[in-house]
Every structure is written in C-alpha cells, then in structure tokens.
Structure 1
Amino acid sequence: MIGRVPWWTVIVVGVLAVCWVVPVLGIVLTSIRPPADVALGWWRLDNIRFTLDAWQRVWVEYPLAESFFYTAMLAALATLGTMLLTPAAAYAFHFLKFRSRRLLLIIIINAFVLPQQVVVIPLFTLWRDMKLIDNPLAVLIPYVGMSFAWSIFLVKNFLEDFPKELIEAAKIDGCGPIKTLLHVVLPNATSPIFAVGVLQFLWSWNALLLPMLYLRTMVPLPVLLTKVSGTYEMNWDLRSVAAIVTTIVPLIVFVVFQRQFAAGSQTRTGAKE
C-alpha cells in the first residue's frame, strides 16, 4: 500500500511548478500583447489588449518556416543515426570480444567530459579542407559522434543485466552477432533506445554553437532566435514568438515520450516489457 505523500513535498513541487510556469506565461503574454503595454512589465493589468502583430511580423520578416524545416531535418537525422548506431556499439562492447575493447570504451566514455568548444576549431579546419562548410554533414557528424559518450554508456548499462542465456540460446540456434543483435537484443532493449532518442532529439533541436559556426544558408531555429533582435529596440515581442516556436516541438516530444524516457532511465532488466 502506498503511503501518503508528505505535505512538504507538495509545497516544494508547487513552488517549482510556479517557478517554471511564470516565465512561460510571461513569454506567451509578451508575444500576444502590444509592446507598449508590456514595456513596464507583462504582468501589469491596467491596460489589457491582445494582438497577433508580432506573430505576423516574425513569419514575414524572418524565415521562420524554413528554419523550422532545417531544425526538424537535422534533429530527426541525428536522432535516427544515434538510435541506429548506439545499440550496435553497446552490444559490441558488452558481448563481443576484440582487442583493446576496454581501452576504446574508456576513451569513448571519457569524451563525455570533453567540452564542445575544444573541438570547434579543429572541426572547422577539417570541414573547410573537406569543403563541408554549409553542409548538413558538418553538424550531423558531430551530433552523432559526440553523443556516443553518454548514449553508449546508457545502453551498455542496461545490457549489464541482460540475460546471457538468451545470447547463448541464439548462438546454439546458429545466429551470428548481427542476427543476435537484430532478433534478440533490440526487441528487448527498446526502453533505453527510446531514452537515447529523446535525449538526442532535444539536444540536437536546441544546439546553437555548431550550426552557427558551420552552416551559412541553412539556419536552424536556435540560430535564428539570436538574430530576432533590433538595432535600436529590443523586440521582446518578436523574440517571444520565436522562442515559443523554437521550444514547442521539444516540449511536445518530451510530453509524448516521457513514459519511454522514464522507463529507459530506470529499467535494468533484459526482460521484454
């Protein structure tokens, strides 16, 4: 029987919820109220008027739809690549025997502590020499490669408790490593794979540094958000609209897949759910 929730936890959760909701409410109200009405604060109620001028201006003055498409394309491709390659790499490191396996795994995992800024200049030189500047591969390759540090660790941690009897049974039935991965491991490891996909999608969607440096004509939403600002005015209403468009998709993805994400971060069994 589940006991009653302590009263103080309700207060703490309520305070955290208010701290999260109030800024979001402020952004929404700023985007639908005239700038003059929110100049002294969006919370003022002495003169309440609503308008969609900011939404119309953003879509007309900035390539918001085009940036939305580029962001969705890059995030989807990076997520798909990570979800395909990570389980195979984790399976190889955990079940297969090959030379320098442990050393290579340590190197990949330790890359998690490597700041992204460290690889910016070497990558820029490499992409320039390979003529990949303003090419989607210039950001997709780092997106997928730099995610291996945490994604392989997450899936391999799940495989620690994976029943080895299933692997041995597959070998007896004549399955090689690839068939064992496809028909035994993957069907029973959907939870951590979904967790990796959600995290990778959120990170790729909100990435700013690499697209800003390596892309020219393809401008994702986070980069466009930095450009939605005036020279002599702050354009808070336009920024609010761009911020809403930028964050709405990651929020929807997290809400829809939060159950799979929670299961992937908590499940430590190889039994198929």
Structure 2
Amino acid sequence: MIGRTPWWSVTIVAVVGCIWIIPVVGIVLTSIRPPSEVALGWWRLDEFTITFDAWARVWGQFPLAQAFWFTALLAGLATAGTMLLTPAAAYAFHFLKFPFRRLMLILIINAFVLPQQVVIIPLFQLWRDLKMIDNIGAVLIPYVGLSFAWSIFLVKNFLEDFPKELIEAARIDGCSAISTLRHVVLPNATTPIFAVGILQFLWTWNALLLPMLYLRSNVPLPVLLTKMSGTYESNWDLQSVAAIVTTIVPLLMFLVFQRYFAAGAQTRSGAKE
C-alpha cells in the first residue's frame, strides 16, 4: 500500500513554487500597469490601473513579431537538426565499428568543457572570410555543432541498455545500418531524443551571445530585448512585455513535449511503442 505524502514535503514544494512564481507575477503586473505606479515597486497597490499601452508600444516601436518568427525559425531548425543527427551519431559510436571511433567520441564529449566564448573570435573570422556574417547559418551551424558534446553523450548512455538482440535480429533479416537505425533504434529511443529536443530548443530560443555577434538585420527575441533598455529611461514596462513574449513559447513547448518525454520512458526496456 502506498503511504500518504508527508505534509512537510508538500509545504516545502508549495513554498518553493510560490518563490518561483513571485517574479512572474511581478513581470505581468509591470507590463499592464503605468510606469508611474510601479516606479517604487510593482508590489505597491496604493493605486492600481490596468492599461495595455506598453503592449501597443512594443508592437508598434519594435519589430517584435519579426523577431518572434525569426526566433521560432532559428530554434526550430536547430532543434530539428540536433534531433536528426544526434541519434545517428550515437548509434554509429555505439553499434558500428570504424577506425578511431573511441578517440573521436572522446574529442566530441570533451568539447562539452570548452567555453562558448573561446570559439567566438575564430568563428567570427571564419564567417567573415566566408561572407556569412548576418546569415542564419552563422548561428545555426554552431548551435547544432556545439550541442553534439552533450546530446551524443546523452543518447549513447541510453543505448548502453538497449537490447542488442534487436540489432542482431535486424542484421540477420538483412537490414542495413540505416534501416536498423530507422526501424529498430529510433522507435525505441524516444526518451533521449525528446529530451535532447527539449534542451536544445530551450537553449537556442534563449541564446544571446552568438546572434548578437553574427546577426545584423534579423535578430531573435533575446537580442531585441537587450535593445529595449533606454539610455535615459529604463523602460521596464516595455521590457516586461518582451520578456513575457520571449518566455511563453519555451514554457508551452516544454509542457507539450514533456508528455511525450514521460511516455517515452516506458520504451527503455526496448519494446516498441
């Protein structure tokens, strides 16, 4: 019989949840109240007026819609590329035999400890020579390439417990390596693939450094958010609106894909869904 959850654990979770929600409430209230009312603190309720002037100003003064769709395109392409290439690479490193396999895997995984700031200047010189500055590929390629350090490691760890009998049976039936990956491994590896997709999407959606350096005409939402801070005024109401627009999509994506992530945990035994 399963025991009841201790009251103290529920209390701790509730307190932590309230602490995490407080900044969200502050951002929402700041976006729908006049700056004069929140100048001394959004929590002051001496005067409480609801207005959507900040929302109208943001959409009118800044290319928020364009930045939103460009961010969705950039994050979607980077996530799709990582989810397609990572399982293939992890499958090759785990089940196939080729020269310098272990050395290549060590080099890829060790790239995880390489700070992103180290590759900024060499990449900038390379993109400048290739005339790729202000090109979506200038950030898309590093997004996918830098993710291999942790994504291949994550999927390969999952394949450590993958039933090798399924791979051997596919080979006996005459399946090639690509067919085995497509029809045997991928349907039973939804857990790490969706985990990689969630993490990659959150990272690329909120990325700031590479787009700020390599993009000029089209910029994603995090870069646009940094440009909203005025020189002589803070524009907290405008920044709050942009912050809400920036964070709502990753939150929804995480909630939607988490269902598939949890359901995919049932396939760890190697049985097809």
Identify the TM-score tier after normalising by the shorter chain.
over 0.9
5 Å-filtered alignment, 1:42-53, equals 42-53=42-53
Aligned-pair CA distance for 1:268 = 4.2
Q: Secondary structure at the match of 1:112?
A: helix
Task: Spell out the pairing of 1:1-273 with structure 2 (5 A cutoff).
Answer: 1-262=1-262, 268-273=268-273
Cα pair 1:64 1:221 within 8 Å, conserved: yes
Q: Is the 8 A contact 2:79 2:201 kept in 1?
A: yes
CA contact (8 A) 1:79 1:200 kept: yes
TM-score normalised according to structure 2 size = 0.97
Deviations 1:79-113 (A, max 9, x none): 01001100000000000001111111111111111
Indicate the SS of the match to 1:216: coil
AA aligned to 2:13 is V
Is contact 2:190-2:261 (8 Å) kept?
no
Bigger CA drift: 126-135 or 250-259?
250-259
Query: How many residues in Structure 1 have an aligned counterpart in Structure 2?
Result: 273
Cα deviation, residue 262, structure 1:
4.5
Partners of 1:18 and 1:45 lie apart in 2 by: 19
Contact 1:207/1:222 (CA < 8 Å) preserved in 2? Answer: yes
Distance in 2 (CA, whole Å) between partners of 1:267 and 1:3 is 28
Q: Partners of 2:17 and 2:209 in 1: how far apart?
A: 30
CA distance in 2, matches of 1:264, 1:12: 29
- In structure 2, the CA distance between the partners of 1:99 and 1:200, relative to structure 1 (3 Å rule), is same
Label 1:141 to 1:191 Cα distance change in 2 as closer, same or farther (>3 A).
same
Give the distance between the partners of 1:227 and 1:266, measured in 2 at CA. Answer: 45
CA–CA distance in structure 2, aligned partners of residues 261 and 233 of structure 1: 44
CA separation of 1:210/1:264 partners in 2, compared to 1, >3 Å: closer, same or farther? farther
Query: Contact 1:198/1:261 (CA < 8 Å) preserved in 2?
Result: no
One-letter amino acid of the counterpart of residue 111, structure 1: A
After TM superposition, which residue ranges in structure 1, 4 or more long, deviate above 4 angstroms?
Answer: 262-268
Kept in 2, the 8 Å contact 1:31–1:240? The answer is yes
Q: Do the aligned partners of 2:32 and 2:51 also contact (CA within 8 Å) in 1? A: yes
Q: Deviations over 1:97-155 (max 9, x none)?
A: 01111111111111111111011011001111111100000000000000001111111
1:175 counterpart letter in structure 2: C
1:262 and 1:128 mapped to 2: Cα distance? 43
The whole-number CA distance in structure 2 between the counterparts of 1:15 and 1:264 is 31
AA of the residue aligned to 1:199: L
CA distance in 1, matches of 2:272, 2:196: 18
Taking the aligned partners of 1:79 and 1:255, their CA distance within structure 2 comes to 16
Rounded to whole Å, the distance in 1 between the matches of 2:56 and 2:148 is: 41
The letter of the residue matching 2:247 is T
Taking only aligned residues, the RMSD between alpha carbons, in angstroms, comes to 1.3
- Normalising by structure 1, we get a TM-score of 0.97
User: How far 1:263 sits from its partner (Å)?
Assistant: 5.6
Identical counterparts, % of pairs: 78
